Structure 1
Amino acid sequence: MDVPMKVFCAEFSALAALLILLGCAVSTHAADGATILEPVTVTGVAEDRISGSSRLAAEQLEALPQGDGNLNDLLIVLPGVQAGEMTNTSLQGGEISPPLLSISGGKVYDNNFLLDGMGINNQLDPMYGSSTNSGLFLPSSPQTMVIDTSLVSRVTVYDNNVPAEFSGFSGGVVSADTISPGAEFGGKLRYRTTRNEWTEFHVEDEESFSDSNSASMQPKFTKQDAGITLNVPLTDQMGLVASYSILNSDLHLTHLGETKDQLRRRENLFLKYEVDLTERDVLTLTAAFQPEEGEYFYPDSYASDYTVERMIYNYQAGYKHYFSLGELELKAGFLQSDSERNAPPHLYIWKVSPSKPWGELVDSTSSREGMVGSLEESQQDYQLKGKFSFAPVRTGRLEHTVKIGADYERIRGSHERDADSYNFYSPMSSATVVCNEGAIDCIDGEQYFTRRVVFQEASVVEDIDQYNVYFEDLIRWMRLELRPGLNVGYNDFMKNSDYAPRLAGSYDLFGNGSTVAIAGWNRYYGKTLLAYKLREAGRPTLNQKLNVATGEWETLTYGPGYLYSRLKTPYTDELVLGVDQRMLGGTVKLRYVKRDGEDQFASQKDTEPREDGAKYVSLNNNGSSRYEAYSAEWERRWGRHYLAVNGTYQESTTSNEGYDDALDGLDLVETCWFDGRSYACSELPRRDYNRPWEANLVYSVKLPYNFTFTNHTKYRSGYVGLDALTSSERTTQGVPEEVAMAYQEEKQPESWIFNWKLDWRRNLYRNHGLQISLEINNVFNQKVPAGAAEEIQTYELGRQFWAGMEYYF
């Protein structure tokens, strides 16, 4: 799909002109009465004691065990960040998708991921999931791009007291800065690999696992991670950095009695150009391309090979100008994510017969053939941001540091199925059947289908225009810092004006920085999603039956249709209390965070069919959540050593985990039975992202003979899951008949996981050298249950080795 650059320029022109005029006005004012502007020396960013943030620099990121090499894998070492229970299971060790993250109790799609300050979030259907063979939707995730760790110079995670600059989240903000060109020519070439022979699996049914015919169980795989990075200084004021990486995973499964491979591949091509135009002006241009491809087949289905491909384009331009009054920063960006499934148009479930014999190979009475058709989805994201950070100004005894800014974003989403697709089932054997000419659902003298599901042709394009302006003033008076701020947002999709006040402050108790009290009250508004507007145009699926007498297909029932509804924007109110205390050569950060989420998205379905025969699903604002957390964080460097420790205790409840979860008016008043008593169903324990205790210890040391050792230890407490009661258990436990659902506790144990990385580095010639690495994840091969037990308990991956080598120059 071509990038519509003319539209891109037209959309940005008005706001760009306004921001440039603002910069010129400030420049003119600064120069008034002076013939020469004094040079401005930027010495760094003042310490931000108020914002609740955790940072990982490139050195720390490189030292940690890398996993699949994406940033999400490493963020779980930070406080307040939880990965889902089904992350890294023994069943799917060959997948390369990054884990979904909950930050400060938020839903996984309510984080704001930024790459060099620009959003890379999916606002089409971020919670649909990983299923590739749905007749209706393509696999999706909260992020459009997967951030390659090797490209990151620093990442900051904001999980409380988030500055007014940030919007579009009710969880946390992940802000990653990419590497910049350096002063000297150089680079590195790297390769890492792991495979099933280097991995221990914990599974209940080893026979089914080892003979798997589906990507839901992956007993054999080979992963390879390779890349090259080049730093090219063009002049003293100009440089270029270029990087290419590829992560490849080959899965080996059984298919119709034979061995057949599936592929997962993700590539990253990254270019960044930076030039100091003058002593005061810096221009940065970046381009990133991320092709992804997955090769699949429908389990034991003949001629069912299909691919799911995604192509991401990300272009950014940044400009900074340093005035005597402060710093002006302008950014423009375009991101496009195209997803496409190329698949056979129809799925058939034939009876085993002389012409369709392959079902016998898997001891089945049915012979499957084909798939459920091709789909396309696309998101185009135009972004423009302007920010002016004023230099500190004194008014009497007060010092003010003001920041103002404006953001504009246009999101265009599309969904397309270019032709009807059929899922044929319930075949009827007949030795006398004569098929119509060109029939695809019949075999002469053998069989014909009597039922089918129709996925109807659809095409839809929808837009959202979003605007944000913000103001923030950091006021310093003696030992007190106070940061009032306001972020005002508007979008023309829900047509809501959202006012998000932010107020945070700190007080230096003894005037020497050793003990600082922190407090804050803030409101955060979440995202607006295009999911149901796109689904609305998709038209309901049809369940049809063949009228044998007439030969016509008659519609019996309709699958759910979808309706867009204008709603309030979900929001979260936050209270923060804390203390920073210098101790043992570092600073202990203690925080209490309380969040109340309201007007969150949930779904509701018609109880009766409408005039067209379909029941429709729509979104509502019935969702809510509650979160309380106590956290402690401390880190220190000394000599060759680095030590970081953090721990979080949380209590989290939510009425629903995602916007597709049903929560209508009846759900809000229904009662559920749990642990011997009645509760409102919305008050039951959260089913995921709900470990009460989590703690991390990261220790890194430079050893003799050029070795570096890093240990990451993660502790997760046990938690109480929900196990539905059978009808006999309901009777035994005396559950009232009017109770909708009844559960009993299902306790999951605590876990201690140790991940190690050992590097050996040797300089060979001048600035050329070699580094060899060995990573061991789950060193002691702990058998950790993953999520609540269904029919068979799932476990996390056991001990796994990664081996790697890097040549640097």
Structure 2
Amino acid sequence: MRKPYQIYSIFCCLLFPIYIQAKDVQDEKKHQDNKEVLTEENKEDNKKEVMVVKAKFNSNPIASQPELITSEEIRTGTMGNGNITDILKTLPSIQVSNSSNNGNQQGEIKPSKVTIHGASSYQNNFMLDGISFNNDIDPSNPNDDITATRINSDEQGLYIDSRLIDNVKVYDKNIPVEYGGFTGGVIDVTGRRWKYTTGGSVYYNTTRSAWNKIHTDKRVDFSPTQNTSNRPNRFQPHYKKENFGGWFESGITDNLGFVFSASRKESDISSYAYRGEAIILDSSNEIADIEAAGGYKDQTRTSNNYLSKFSWYMTDNTYLDWSVNYSNYQDYSFSANVANSGFKTNHTGIGSSLQLTSQQDLGELELTTGYQVLEDKRKDDQKYYVSYRYENWIEQDENFEKQSGGIGDLKTKQKNTELKGKFTFTPINWGNTIHQPKSGFEFKKTNASYIRNKDFFRYNFVNYNDVWKNWMINAFKKGTYSADYKNYALYADDTITYHRLTLQPGIRVDYDNFVKNYNVAPRIATTYDLFGTKQTNLIAGYNRYYGRTMMGYALYGAQNGGLYNCYGCKPGDVIDDKWINETDFEGLNHLSTPYSDEINFGIEQKILDTLWKFEYVHRNSRDEVVSKPKYARSSVRKFDNTGKSEHNSFAISVTNPEKWKIATTENTLKASIIWEKNQSNTPKVGYAHYDAAGGRINKDYVYYNGKVIKASKLPATDFNLPLRFNLELTTAFPDYDLSIYNQFQWHAQRSQAVRYESSYKWDPDKGQLARYDREDFGSTFRWDVKMLWKPSFAYGANMSLEVNNLLNKRNVTDRYNYGVDANGNPIILNSYDIGRQFWMQIGYDF
């Protein structure tokens, strides 16, 4: 262990003796001022007044404060599909994936992928009521590419509806020591809590393709008939989405109550199933011709959310929350070019957490325990795949291929048990300083399983001019592969105030039994009140963050370990000595946990009724996991920690903490301008990305835009908006019970590194290199509007109209490869942001 870590450890061990020696506990009145207690007068008023639960101790200085989005802001702002990530896109530290802005796929309802300060989208820590809900088995997929060994899942284990929550906190820099398991940031969701009232809200929300001006590349037939077996969802010209739900709260006794929330999202996407000649295997495992009926029918998406929380206010200083959460997402898809190709995926999460908070003279104790089961499951309509390809060497017009089937049943399951404890001491005086120590622990156990309940076969029969015929069969053997993962963490920090200086040194130590390393993360944040007026604060920090669990790598062996090939076998042949095992990996037992070092500084300035922030963040990420060929022309991939990334960003933002009253209106402003640069030698496309080159690939260099450069200097291949401007303006008209929300987003012109068809370039000095081209994109502008009307005469009824891309701007957000032309060159098409789109909602509050 390095000497700086030893210094930090010794320092943090001294926090507790210092506290014990300092007996000058702060005046009890100050302690009580941090609480808002329900008065007797409120109780008698039929409990219509809301009781705000005792405020938690705030031991974090200004430098460590999160970005906060409240339920009221969620309600008045645009929300799209209502996912958590949909409401984060204007935060300065957040970027949304290019693929998430794809107007071709507006029928989808899954959450968008986001990055925080350039980190991989699967390196954020998503939390609900103190418990993480990350999917750690296979959380990242670069697009809608469907494979036999992976289920198209997501980073989030629960698809939470933002309409049902109380608030979201986003920690993006100077992140406190109690948070771990990320190199990006923390997205901390708090569910609704009973507040001594009885009431609730219901809503119905809808949109459809007829209300959407869809922009497409004119060079492609934008039709579901162009969807393929590995991308069955690429084009969605016709869809209809409906969302409905609500929440209800009530008391059971004077001090015990509950909140229950529920929502359902539905999307029907008119698609095309294969129609025409195809083949299957008959009962004797012989090829038989069929005529697939096919035609237009709906692909479907549904998402159900149920959140409940029981709150027991045991005393004025102690309360207990018990949460139970259930989330289920179902997707039925099929291909336009393969018969009987339908498959259903099911993403389910169920969890429960218990959280005890007690405030006493000595400080605040918070204990949290939780249990979750996350499951992804896929079932095919046809339990095998078969293709028959005929090639005539002379009359090529006679060539054809017939095929049918899916990609195999598969299931993954993740079980999480988590226990956390944190104690925040009451601020104490010691000499000329005020101290507020904090310490805690975490324990998390994860059991993950990769399950194939039956053998899955891919049969491929090739007939060359009736001269040579042969079968080639891939078999994915049935079986269950499980892995356990345990993580232990201890942490401590101290918030020290000396006159105008606030310093928060801390340290976090993690250990897990997969990597088997002690990961020591020093963190320090500081705030200096420049003039002693609390109007100007200087902020700085240095922090280390270690990444998410390595469970995805622990299970990678299960994904390809069961793959067998046989050349010359026939359908029905059992797996014996004729079959060749195709295990293709090594190095999984020698990985280190990825980490990121952060340096940041900034200024907060209050000017009149506004708060200005000037922030710079620099991050170096190291030990990112990559895979590469083991040696020249090898099909075996080797995993190592040679990936690295660099991030630099500068942001200026302004808000008005108190609403501006102009005439009869009340106005709230949020604005920011962000410059950002990301570089990485590691494609951000998944845990197990592999470059299947024909020869050895030099990973230290790439061929980019006609030049050989270091791989670490390659511009980002996604999340690459170097300059952007966001403006949110909410204007309320109390006299008319109306609010209007305006969101303006401008992105400057940019260039991006892209790679099509896994292209390569041979360099005489560096050898075989991955080839990237530079794609240039013009600037984009988007104006979203939402009008919410809640007339007082309607006794709680309300309605809203949301218009995305009001001006119907034709914004190019990405480019993608769509086959090859007659000369064998890749066809590159534009992907556009959504055109003008309308959402309608009606609701009732009671």
TM range (shorter): 0.7 to 0.9
Residue aligning to 2:246: 228
1:233: Cα distance to partner? 1.8
Residue aligning to 2:234: 216
Residue aligning to 1:436: none
Where does 1:604-615 land on structure 2 (aligned, <5 Å)?
A: 604-607=628-631, 615=635
Q: Distance in 1 between the 2:507 and 2:830 partners?
A: 48
Per-residue CA deviation, residues 389-446 of structure 1 (Å, 9 max, x unaligned), is 11001101110011111111001110011222111123449999xxxxxxxxxxxxxx
- Seen in structure 2, the aligned counterparts of structure 1 residues 305 and 690 have a Cα distance that, compared at 3 Å, is closer
Per-residue CA deviation, residues 186-210 of structure 1 (Å, 9 max, x unaligned), is 1111000000100111112463426
Contact 1:540/1:561 (<8 A) preserved: no
Q: What is the letter of the counterpart of residue 812 of structure 2?
A: P
Residue aligning to 1:653: 679
1:617 counterpart = 2:637: yes
Where does 1:587-666 land on structure 2 (aligned, <5 Å)?
A: 587-607=611-631, 615-636=635-656, 637-639=659-661, 640-658=666-684, 659-662=687-690
Counterpart secondary structure, 1:302: coil
Counterpart secondary structure, 1:86: helix
Q: What is the letter of the counterpart of residue 752 of structure 1?
A: F
Q: Distance in 2 between the 1:72 and 1:670 partners?
A: 34
Counterpart secondary structure, 1:466: strand
Residue aligning to 2:774: 745
Counterpart secondary structure, 2:640: strand
1:107: Cα distance to partner? 1.0
Contact 2:562/2:581 (<8 A) preserved: no
Stretch moving more, 322-331 or 666-675:
666-675
Residue aligning to 2:739: 708
1:64: Cα distance to partner? 1.0
1:761 to 779, 782, 790: 790
Counterpart secondary structure, 2:138: coil
1:529 counterpart = 2:550: yes
Contact 1:722/1:788 (<8 A) preserved: no
Per-residue CA deviation, residues 754-788 of structure 1 (Å, 9 max, x unaligned), is 111011112346xx311111101111111122223
1:547: Cα distance to partner? 5.9
1:67: Cα distance to partner? 0.4
Stretch moving more, 377-386 or 367-376:
367-376
Counterpart secondary structure, 1:537: helix
1:303: Cα distance to partner? 2.9
Counterpart secondary structure, 1:682: helix
Counterpart secondary structure, 1:510: coil
Q: What is the letter of the counterpart of residue 752 of structure 2?
A: G
1:207 counterpart = 2:221: yes
Per-residue CA deviation, residues 631-655 of structure 1 (Å, 9 max, x unaligned), is 1121112231100011211111011
Q: Distance in 2 between the 1:645 and 1:483 partners?
A: 29
Contact 2:703/2:761 (<8 A) preserved: no
Contact 2:512/2:518 (<8 A) preserved: yes
1:776 to 794, 803, 827: 803
2:709 to 654, 664, 679: 679
Per-residue CA deviation, residues 3-55 of structure 1 (Å, 9 max, x unaligned), is xxxxxxxxxxxxxxxxxxxxxxx99x99x9xxxxx989625455841115311
Contact 1:532/1:563 (<8 A) preserved: no
1:401 to 411, 436, 442: 436
- Seen in structure 2, the aligned counterparts of structure 1 residues 552 and 428 have a Cα distance that, compared at 3 Å, is farther
Q: Distance in 1 between the 2:506 and 2:308 partners?
A: 35
1:138: Cα distance to partner? 1.0
Counterpart secondary structure, 1:50: helix
Q: Distance in 2 between the 1:306 and 1:729 partners?
A: 35
Contact 1:532/1:619 (<8 A) preserved: no
Q: Which runs of 5+ in 2 are unaligned?
A: 1-18, 26-30, 37-54, 276-294, 391-397, 818-826
Where does 1:560-599 land on structure 2 (aligned, <5 Å)?
A: 560-561=584-585, 564-599=588-623
Q: Distance in 2 between the 1:596 and 1:234 partners?
A: 52
- Seen in structure 2, the aligned counterparts of structure 1 residues 670 and 351 have a Cα distance that, compared at 3 Å, is closer
Q: What is the letter of the counterpart of residue 305 of structure 2?
A: N
1:250 counterpart = 2:277: no
1:317: Cα distance to partner? 0.5
Q: Distance in 2 between the 1:89 and 1:561 partners?
A: 34
TM-score by length of 2: 0.83
Q: Distance in 2 between the 1:729 and 1:653 partners?
A: 20
1:175 counterpart = 2:188: yes
1:735: Cα distance to partner? 9.8
Contact 1:533/1:563 (<8 A) preserved: no
Q: What is the letter of the counterpart of residue 483 of structure 2?
A: E
Residue aligning to 1:694: 724
Counterpart secondary structure, 2:549: coil
- Seen in structure 2, the aligned counterparts of structure 1 residues 547 and 180 have a Cα distance that, compared at 3 Å, is closer
Contact 1:532/1:564 (<8 A) preserved: yes
- Seen in structure 2, the aligned counterparts of structure 1 residues 479 and 650 have a Cα distance that, compared at 3 Å, is same
Residue aligning to 1:264: 301
1:493 counterpart = 2:514: yes
Q: Which runs of 5+ in 1 are unaligned?
A: 1-25, 33-37, 353-362, 433-446
Residue aligning to 1:541: 563
Q: Distance in 2 between the 1:630 and 1:807 partners?
A: 42
Q: Distance in 1 between the 2:310 and 2:470 partners?
A: 60
- Seen in structure 2, the aligned counterparts of structure 1 residues 729 and 596 have a Cα distance that, compared at 3 Å, is closer
TM-score by length of 1: 0.86
Per-residue CA deviation, residues 509-554 of structure 1 (Å, 9 max, x unaligned), is 1101111111111111112322232121341523322168x98995
Counterpart secondary structure, 2:252: strand
Q: Distance in 1 between the 2:704 and 2:464 partners?
A: 50
1:296 counterpart = 2:333: yes
Counterpart secondary structure, 2:830: coil
1:146: Cα distance to partner? 1.7
Per-residue CA deviation, residues 74-105 of structure 1 (Å, 9 max, x unaligned), is 10111110001111312211011111111011
Residue aligning to 2:314: 277
Identity %, equivalent residues: 26
- Seen in structure 2, the aligned counterparts of structure 1 residues 723 and 416 have a Cα distance that, compared at 3 Å, is closer
Q: What is the letter of the counterpart of residue 86 of structure 2?
A: D
Counterpart secondary structure, 2:99: coil
Q: Distance in 2 between the 1:547 and 1:379 partners?
A: 36
Contact 2:319/2:356 (<8 A) preserved: yes
- Seen in structure 2, the aligned counterparts of structure 1 residues 706 and 608 have a Cα distance that, compared at 3 Å, is same
Q: Distance in 2 between the 1:347 and 1:677 partners?
A: 43
Counterpart secondary structure, 1:794: strand
1:718 to 749, 762, 765: 749
Residues paired across the two proteins, number: 745
Per-residue CA deviation, residues 173-195 of structure 1 (Å, 9 max, x unaligned), is 11111111122211111000000
- Seen in structure 2, the aligned counterparts of structure 1 residues 670 and 232 have a Cα distance that, compared at 3 Å, is closer
1:602: Cα distance to partner? 1.2
Contact 1:347/1:422 (<8 A) preserved: yes
- Seen in structure 2, the aligned counterparts of structure 1 residues 588 and 378 have a Cα distance that, compared at 3 Å, is same
1:570: Cα distance to partner? 1.1
1:699: Cα distance to partner? 0.3
Stretch moving more, 256-265 or 708-717:
256-265
1:716: Cα distance to partner? 1.4
Counterpart secondary structure, 1:160: coil
Q: Distance in 1 between the 2:581 and 2:513 partners?
A: 35
Where does 1:103-182 land on structure 2 (aligned, <5 Å)?
A: 103-128=116-141, 131=144, 133-182=146-195
Cα RMSD over matched residues?
Answer: 3.2
Stretch moving more, 60-69 or 199-208:
199-208
Residue aligning to 2:416: 381
1:722: Cα distance to partner? 3.0
Q: Distance in 2 between the 1:452 and 1:728 partners?
A: 28
Residue aligning to 1:357: none
1:420 counterpart = 2:455: yes
Residue aligning to 2:51: none
- Seen in structure 2, the aligned counterparts of structure 1 residues 395 and 453 have a Cα distance that, compared at 3 Å, is same
Contact 2:637/2:690 (<8 A) preserved: no
Residue aligning to 1:785: 812
1:68 counterpart = 2:106: no
